[in-house]
Amino acid sequence: MGAETLRPLSKECYYTHPRLWLKNISSPQPREARTISTSPAIIPRAEHNISRSNISESALKVLYRLTQAGYSAHLVGGGVRDLLLGREPKDFDVATDARPEEIKALFRNCRLIGRRFVLAHVRFGREIIEVATFRAQHEAADGEGEGEGVMEDGMILRDNVFGTLEDDAWRRDFTVNALYYNVADFSVIDYTDGMADLKAGVLRLIGEPGARLREDPVRMLRAVRFAAKLGFRLHPDIEAGIHELGELLTAVPPARLFDEVLKLFQGGYAVQGYELLRHYGLFGYLFPQTEACLAEEENDFPHTLLLKALGNTDARIAVGKPVTPAFLFAALLWDPVRQAAARLREAGMSELQALQAASQDVISEQTRRVTFPKRFSIQSREIWTLQARLPQRAGKRALRLFEHPRFRAAYDFLLLRAEAGEDVSELAEWWTRFQEVDHEARLKMSSEVKGSSGKRRKRRRRKRPAASS
Ligand code: ATP
Ligand code: MG
């Protein structure tokens, strides 16, 4: 079966006859014969709203340099999608027929990254333009020795099978992510009917949803992320696919899930992302310990704390304030830590010891699912254990604590706990006041803390026998 017999496919066929759009995958024929030559919709400049003035200078430089060198180069992905929606793109992705080494040879400020998916990062100051070589579906190009692709149990392990612009369009995840802006004539190229889905506000997987989700289960998280960000709804096929295949997320390397979790929760729409993750039953695959707490939720506690933390994160991002995964994970995992610490206290540990041990346990359990890099987990642990030190303000303790590098985060966390209904409101107010007053008043506040004189006497009593022995 050659290109001719496949040409008259209607759009419906692509979605309902996966083998067809997968380009006659089992055929041993040469590649040309297996490629469906569909003609894309070309939307001329006059009929869309993408203007070069909204594209970053750096992205334009990359596009022009590649085309001047004789390669084909298009803007694709989130940049095109967001511009068409009248939104400001987070970043710009370029797709080209130049191979990674060829891209590297063209740009001095270029680094090749990734193994699963090799791409070029071209850096301009703080901006990075991602340049990817056109990819094909694995099946469409196997045996041709062009780049490499590795699959296992239907999951893509390496995605470096190079192809044409058209191949590249079909192997992308969602139709709205497969629109190309052609810098040569300023048109938009649409193979997958992405424009229609963009207008309808629908996220639709290209191809057969089950196969595409098996190939890369992270697409489930991407679907949720784009739905949260764009306010789009998921096509019922994806919903059904997620329902059936959610568990495949447990097979995704934890380091990749960490990246996705950050994109989900630090992109400015964390609340919505969280609600959708829970709605689709995916949250538990990422944070099983938190999910277990949510399942036996008392007084809405963890839910409230989480939602407030995520809401604060969104609000900070909206006004350009920095956010850190350390605080985010501290909030996401607080309830498991709190509950584990309570059990350890019952078994006889001090509050601080219990929090330290619980933090350790919860972090190592979490890391099995989603990597939680040490540089962040160390800080989260400090935020948690400082919760046990914040009530101890007697004498010089409050002043010392105030100097702690993690004090501010621990105090913010205390505020969050108070807001979420934990019994720490008075303590939180005390610390708020403490920061507002001058040094003298701080000393006075500390001396008035209940038990402050008692603590000092106790320490003196302990020292005396030591000195006399
Ligand atoms: P964002 O606004 O978050 O950058 P994006 O759509 O640009 O959204 P990227 O992760 O930057 O997302 O990826 C760029 C493009 O690469 C996507 O739009 C999509 O076409 C393609 N892509 C990325 N990840 C996948 C994937 N896992 N499977 C298939 N295609 C993907
Ligand atoms: Mg992008």
Contacts of residue 50, Cβ cutoff 8 Å, sequence gap at least 6: 80, 83, 84, 181, 186, 188
Give the residue with greater pLDDT, 297 vs 443. Answer: 443
CATH number for the domain whose boundaries are 39-200: 3.30.460.10
pLDDT at 434 over 50: yes
State pLDDT tens for residues 117-158.
899 999 999 999 999 999 988 764 444 445 567 777 778 777
Burial class (CB in 10 A: 0-12, 13-18, 19+), 8: exposed
Distance CA 10, CA 168 (A): 19
State pLDDT tens for residues 219-257.
999 999 999 999 999 999 999 999 999 999 999 999 999
Q: Is 426 helix (H, G, I), strand (E, B) or coil?
A: helix
Decide: 15 and 46 in contact? Cβ < 8 Å: no
Residue extents of the structural domains in the chain: 39-200, 281-461
With a Cβ cut-off of 6 Å, ligand 1 is lined by 77-78, 90-91, 93, 172-173, 177-178, 216, 218-219
Question: Which of 172, 189, 203, 220 for mutating ligand 1's site (highest number of atoms within 8 Å of CB)?
Answer: 172
CA of 90, closest atom in ligand 1: 2
pLDDT at 25 over 70: no
Helices (H), 151-269: 165-170, 194-200, 209-215, 218-230, 236-245, 254-265
Distance CA 205, CA 223 (A): 9
Ligand 2 center to 410 CA (angstroms): 34
Question: Across the strands, what pairs with 331?
Answer: none
State pLDDT tens for residues 338-356.
999 999 999 999 999 999 9
Distance CA 358, CA 371 (A): 18
CA of 267, closest atom in ligand 1: 3
State pLDDT tens for residues 291-335.
999 988 766 666 789 999 999 999 999 999 999 999 999 999 999
Question: Across the strands, what pairs with 133?
Answer: 96
Decide: 67 and 183 in contact? Cβ < 8 Å: yes
CATH number for the domain whose boundaries are 281-461: 1.10.3090.10
Torsions phi, psi for 328 (to 5 deg): -60, -50
Which contacts qualify for 432-436: CB closer than 8 Å, 24 or more apart? 434/393, 434/398, 434/402, 435/402, 435/411
Domains 39-200 and 281-461 share a fold: no
